[in-house]
Each structure stands twice: as structure tokens, then as C-alpha cells.
Amino acid sequence: MRLENKIAIVTGAASGLGKAIADLFVDEGAKVIYSDINEINDIKGQEFVKCDVSNKEEVNELVNHAVKKFGRLDIMVNNAGIASSGSLTETDDSTWDKTIAVNLSGTFYGMRAAGRSMKEKKVRGSIINIGSIAGEVGFKDTLSYCASKGGVTQMTRAAALDMAEFNIRVNVIAPGVIETNMVKDFLEDENFKKMVSDNTPLGRVGKSEDIAFVALYLASDESSFTTGETVKVDGGWTAR
């Protein structure tokens, strides 16, 4: 098992990417704390901790809980996020504030809490952030989302440099369009589906498992020389 005896937290683990990542980590031997703002029923015999990642105190408590229970934290997956839409002139303050609070600040709080714990406990840990190709290229009418995910990408690079001397790796996965509840409504629009297929060289929408297996690599010791990287899992979208 590639994560035997590792201790992990996965945020946004109620469904979609987070659920797939957490489940795969369990299958590979990790002890996983599933965390989400929503309750989770199927957690493979593991533990659930409710957490709003936009609340730094709740994030700190989440990491502290893991350390108190297991003695350390090896892997932190900052996956929790929300989608948002709106152009430059149409994006209102509430949309902007919420998107940045969850996607950018929430990731920062998770990175900081995990990094502090790993540093204190002298853990050679792995912090994995879930970004987006929207943080790499522009998308029309998604200003706040693009800004938040672009921030995650740059924050990951800076954090990787900060934490390298402590043997703590920090990487970001940038998914393309993945079949999750977040994009379910969009995928019901035939024009959107055609746009995705036209722009994806591999010609399909991604699956949650496509992201989970990359997260597994980044969480495992197999990636011990990988840090500060953005791993695009987008079917070739950004290769065009």
C-alpha cells in the first residue's frame, strides 16, 4: 500500500474530487479525516470532521484534531472550493468575497495550519492544493473563480520555497473540466459540452478518479523530489 500508516486530511470530501481522493487514500492504507461543510455518510470507516474552510479557527481546529488523535499529520489536501460566474462588470461584491474566502483564503488557512504542524512535528509532509486550469488560462465570465485559482497556483509555488528546507512538499493539481456536482448543471447544456469536447484533445470530460490518482502520487513518497509544481490534468486543454 502506497500510503500505509500515513495520516491525511481531505477537505471538501463529501463528494466529487474530495470524496474520490479520500476514498483512494483509505484504499492505499492511509488514516483519513474526511472534512466538509456538509455531513458525509460514506467515509469508509474513517472519521468525519465538519469544517468551513473560510473560517480559519475551524481549519486550525481540524488540523489540531488530527494531531491530537494520531500524533501527527502527513498529508493535507486542500480541495474544498466553490464555482462562481460573472464578468468583470457583472461580478458583485458578495460573489467576489465568497469565492476568494473559500477558494483562496480557505486554501491558505489549510496550508498554514498543516505547514505549522508538520514543521513542529518534523514531518516530511505533503500539502496538495486543488487548483484549476482556470488559474492557468482565462475563461470568459468567470472572473472571481479565475482569480481565486490563479492565486492558489502562485501561493503554492511560494509556499513550496518556504517549506523546502523542512522537507515539506507543496504542489497543486490543476484539473480541467471534471464530471462532478460542481459542473453538473453546466454539462447538461449541449453548447457547454460541445465547447468542452472541442477544446479537450482527448475528447472527453474528466472523471474524479483521474484527479485522485495524481493526488495519490503527490501524497506518496514516490514524489519525494517534486515540489512547487502545477500538475495539469485536463485532457490536453492547456497544451493547445
Per-residue model confidence as pLDDT tens digits over 185-216: 778 888 888 888 889 999 889 999 999 999 99
Tens of pLDDT along 42-84? Answer: 999 999 999 999 999 999 999 999 999 999 999 999 999 999 9
The structural domain count of the chain equals 1
Residue 196 falls inside a structural domain = no
Residue 167 falls inside a structural domain = yes
Give the chain's mean pLDDT: 96
Q: Is the dihedral of CA 126, 131, 135, 136 positive or negative?
A: positive
* Global confidence as pTM: 0.96
Burial of 79 (0-12, 13-18, 19+ CB in 10 A): buried
Residue 240 falls inside a structural domain = no
Residue 86: give its domain's CATH number. Answer: 3.40.50.720
Domain containing residue 222: 7-180+207-232
Q: In the annotation, is 217 catalytic?
A: no
Cβ proximity of 24 and 42 under 8 Å: no
Residue 136 falls inside a structural domain = yes
Q: Is the dihedral of CA 139, 99, 117, 20 positive or negative?
A: negative
Tens of pLDDT along 119-162? Answer: 999 999 999 999 999 999 999 999 999 999 999 999 999 999 99
